[in-house]
Amino acid sequence: MGDEPLVLGIETSCDETGVGLVRGTTLLADTVASSVDEHARFGGVVPEVASRAHLEAMVPTIERACAEAGVRLDDVTAIAVTSGPGLTGALLVGVAAAKALSIALATPLYGVNHLAAHVAVDQLEHGPLPQPCIALLVSGGHSSLLLVEDVTSRVIPLGATIDDAAGEAFDKVARLLGMPFPGGPHIDSSARDGEPAYVDFPRGLTSGRDLQRHRFDFSFSGLKTAVARWVEARERDGEPVPVADVAASFQEAVCDVLTRKAVDACRSHGLDTLLIGGGVAANSRLRAMAQERAAAAKLRVRVPRPALCTDNGAMVAALGAELVARCREPSELDLPADSSMPVTTVVA
Ligand code: KG4
Ligand code: ZN
């Protein structure tokens, strides 16, 4: 095992400075420093604040990861870093650090796609991923359905959100229900005491021409507005807002659309494995509904544990390790930080 490549993964696309160490397919360390508290009062991630936080956290986070793994930096045989998509300034910090380390340690460097990394991480927990498979990636920054033919080289986008990301909708609705940022976990726990059928909120792009034109796309901004209108009407009438019921009904609408379209994608491509990743994959109702619907359609669902669903360095190291194992070409040292890197580009 000591002979297997030791890959360092660096993730800085949003507000988490993530550093992971993977040897072969074994996770040795997954260290995350989050600047989420610094963004809370703004109700969303402030790019400039995130970049500065990455700069301060980078070296200490790398040191913590090495200590956790019981390795030294010069044991590292390859480096992987998120090249995009994400916030430009935030990505730049990780990419610059990775380039410096790659030169200092004389190791190959892989600039990788953040979405492909969200897919690859599951292999650390559940073993080799059957490919092709369908991946549903849902977070504060992205909501995509992907056809993963080969996570190291061929990832095909089937659909994505045409407005808000799923996590963004959770965060905005949480805010209007008076919950702190990030709101997803608060909606999740509040919804446990609520009635999911209390309000029949709209399911975007699920019927008629919308569905035909956007079969695998998502839209959550109409749902967010519907919740806002419903709450406003209650307040106007001087009636109390049943927060848990609204949270449960909103969550039900999001999970219904996500799982319905994900199962449809599996069926229409004749695939039996659905992988779910991204921060929203931590949602308890999404997990339960995905399992129920997948079982009914004879599909298998794979969801990494919550710490591997949210942004982290282990996912980048996992993809890097897979690229090394498959003898893929590393990136050039002039690799960019590409805020809108397409998912079809796995390595920059
Ligand atoms: O993947 P992530 O850590 O960062 C990116 O946005 O890329 O995802 C964070 C998002 C936030 O919008 C947060 O509210 C949401 O994931 N989230 C959840 C839950 N836990 C985190 N949404 C719903 N239910 C949860 N339990
Ligand atoms: Zn992410």
pLDDT (tens digit, 9 = 90+) per residue, 2-18? 689 999 999 999 999 99
CB of 140 within 6 A of ligand 1: the answer is: yes
Confidence of residue 41 (pLDDT cuts 50, 70, 90): confident
DSSP reduced 3-state for 97: helix
Residue 181 has pLDDT above 60, yes or no: yes
Single pTM value for the model: 0.95
Beta pairing partners, 29:
21
Rounded CA separation 285/275 (Å): 16
Distance 327 CA to ligand 1 centre (A): 33
Q: Mean pLDDT throughout 294-320?
A: 97
Predicted local confidence at residue 152, as pLDDT: 98
User: Does the structure show a pLDDT above 60 at 324?
Assistant: yes
DSSP state of 4: S
Specify whether the CB–CB gap between 6 and 23 falls below 8 A.
yes
Average pLDDT for 164-179: 96
Question: What end-to-end distance do the CA atoms of the chain give, in Å?
Answer: 29
The dihedral of CA 138, 141, 144, 149: what is its sign?
negative
pLDDT bin (cut points 50, 70, 90) of residue 147 is very high
Instruction: Name the pLDDT band for 1 (thresholds 50, 70, 90).
Output: low
**Ligand found nearest the CA of 116:** 2
pLDDT at 43: 81
Share of the chain above pLDDT 70, in %: 99
Ligand 1 atom with minimal separation from the 174 CA: 14
pLDDT one-digit tens code per residue, 218-243? 999 999 999 999 999 999 999 999 99
Compute CA distances 253 → 198, 222, 229, 311, 341, whole Å.
11, 11, 16, 24, 30
pLDDT at 40: 84
Cα–Cα dist 45/58, whole Å:
18
Number of the ligand 1 atom closest to the C-alpha atom of 251? 23
Check pocket membership of 139 for ligand 1, CB cut-off 6 A. Answer: yes
Q: Which long-range contacts (CB under 8 A, 24 or more apart) does 284-293 make?
A: 284/188, 284/192, 285/188, 285/191, 285/196, 285/251, 285/252, 285/255, 286/138, 286/254, 286/255, 286/258, 286/259, 289/255, 289/256, 289/259, 290/255, 290/258, 290/259, 290/262, 293/259, 293/260, 293/263
Nearest to residue 151, comparing CAs of 118, 108, 125, 126? 118
**CA of 165, nearest ligand number:** 1
Q: Average model confidence (pLDDT) for the chain?
A: 96
Average of pLDDT values for 117-133? 97
What is the pLDDT, as a whole number, of residue 305?
95
- Whether the CB of 283 sits within 6 Å of ligand 1: yes
Q: With contact defined as beta carbons under 8 Å apart, do 180 and 243 qualify? A: no
Cα–Cα distance between 206 and 255 in angstroms, integer?
A: 13
- Residue 2's pLDDT is 60
Q: How far is the CA of 179 from the centre of ligand 1 (A)?
A: 14
The fraction of the chain above a pLDDT of 90, given in percent, is 95
Q: What is the Å distance from ligand 1's center to 209 Cα? A: 30
Ligand 1: does its nearest atom lie under 6 Å from the Cβ of 184? yes
Number of residues written out for the chain:
348
**Residue 278 near ligand 1, beta carbon < 6 Å:** yes
pLDDT at 199 over 80: yes
Q: Is 335 in the pocket of ligand 1 (CB under 6 A)?
A: no
How far does residue 345's CA lie from ligand 1's centre (Å)?
A: 24
Residues near 193 by beta carbon (within 8 Å), at least 6 away in sequence: 244, 248
pLDDT over 80 (residue 123): yes
